[in-house]
Chain A
């Protein structure tokens, strides 16, 4: 057999085509056969990150599922205009969707405090950043934080992934004196108030990106939750909505809910109209006074018989 001319055009083109097809099939096969295992790893990794924000750190891979179940109570997903997406699990919202959807985890920290875990995303020097911030249910104070990155510089920007940087966030107030979100990251040593966290030395742009992510991310959640509360308020007599999503304090459903107002001594008390007396129980009746127990606001029993 004559020796194949490996320099001919036909041979070169066929060789290139065959090589590309073979490699493509090989990669597709490897990728699809390992996908299930990889997805499981990714899910466990995400749960580990959420738990780290709740200060549950350093747990073995095999315990992650159990710890996650123990610390996360419920989750929900809000749209940008404050509507709850029915049946959606916050865990299924991917990082790239944050900003269109607002996933919220209602959880408990390592020492048993109630917390909301809010996922945020941003941009660092080389690539994307993301993080989970645990705040108190009234969103006033940070309880813990976790940050991670795609490709920040090892030893510099990558330090935002380490516990010493993240531990600085616990206990910081979220809001400044003007009532807006003030929590951010500043150059080390130039912090002016408790809401400004020290950045990483030598990683100015990563620190700046992290600060923007935290600040803008939390502000977006505050805006969405404000919308969610006013959306609920449009319903007849709806109370202050639970921080988080759709869970109302002391009332089922919307119709006939008591309207809780500030100025009543106890959490359960409410006023039916501005300036009226504080009701201890029952819903408001049609005339805007306190109804009898069991009154749902629409029925005749709500008259003062």
Chain B
């Protein structure tokens, strides 16, 4: 048995490194060792996990791990951690990560806090988590009362640490790979539709106030003037299919310096996606629309006349 251990895992390398920085903090508070669990067909540059905070890298390499299958991965995770005195297991909250975490938690007969936006440990060494509930309108502060404590962490919640010259151990584990019953027949690449939304300093966004897809050009002109990325609310993407991805609790959570919502009503789900924007501007013809309640500046007016006027006014001022 090892000493107290915190383990971080994500099949998404970047997210894995982000979790390590928070995992380091938690491990130091618990007086625990931080392990990065890395699974795959061929592991490249495991040292990177150490320079980003891990004390040890646990590696399982196998051709069967080339693509993620939850049944196989759950078995590997459980087997890889069976000799570890596991205090905390942090898993990246991708869709795959979430189903893996829930299944591993069930196997270990313990709780799991999904998509924590903040985590900490209390004086008894219990894991504390903050997560969104009620469609994203409320923050639920929770405590995991028994170990192993499990939490999943969404992408971009924590910043990865600056790499530092640290020493650490790299262990290659020999693990039984179980067969999986769900067979993948085909994997169709998706067009990456986020259009850089997550990192964009300015985002302008379309909602149901737009009557026709062609009208989005009004917004594109505003975006061009501002050097902004164009996003939308959920119905525009999920129901109308005018764009690939949307902004909101179930889509992209963004934190631009400036967010301009056009023809968006401002449901709690959408509001949760833009909460971290520095300045929110809204244009909506409904006086009572919730978006005005969560904006810094708003115009109650018709997007079809206000947007072109705003584009023009901004152009004049930016000359």
- Decide whether A and B assemble into one complex: no
Q: Could you list which residues of chain B lie within 8 angstroms of chain A, going by C-beta atoms?
A: none
Q: Could you list which residues of chain A lie within 8 angstroms of chain B, going by C-beta atoms?
A: none
